Amino acid sequence: MQQIAALLVLADDSSASAGVVIALIIILALVVMSVSIWLFRTRLKYRETVARPQLVKKCPNCGTMMAPEAAFCPNCGKEVPRVTTMV
């Protein structure tokens, strides 16, 4: 009788620990899914940024590349003409 009671207690503990293991697996799967979605969105945002055409202009004095809205060259300090772009 005592052996049967001991087996029932062990069976009770194993079913409780199995529930905990299943819950941990579900939580781990949700974390992995969340991280993979975050990485996918980050990569997509990076691709959109890289694929966007970048406008630059060149200093006529020293040849340094600069932003199109810059009025003075960051390298030599000479004033550069404004650039107008039409799409």
pLDDT digits (tens, 9 = 90+) for 27-75: 999 999 999 999 999 998 888 777 777 778 889 889 899 888 889 999 9
The C-alpha atoms of residue 28 and residue 50 are separated, in whole angstroms, by 33
State the first-to-last Cα distance of the chain, in angstroms, to the nearest integer.
89
- Asked if pLDDT for residue 86 goes beyond 60, the answer is no
Q: Are 80 and 57 in contact (CB under 8 A)?
A: yes
Q: What is the pTM of this model?
A: 0.43
The more confident residue out of 84 and 70 is: 70
pLDDT digits (tens, 9 = 90+) for 3-25: 655 544 555 556 668 888 899 99
Please report the sign of the dihedral spanned by the C-alpha atoms of residue 6, residue 12, residue 15, residue 16.
negative
CA within 13 Å, CB half, 18? 6
The C-alpha atoms of residue 65 and residue 63 are separated, in whole angstroms, by 6
- Asked if pLDDT for residue 2 goes beyond 80, the answer is no
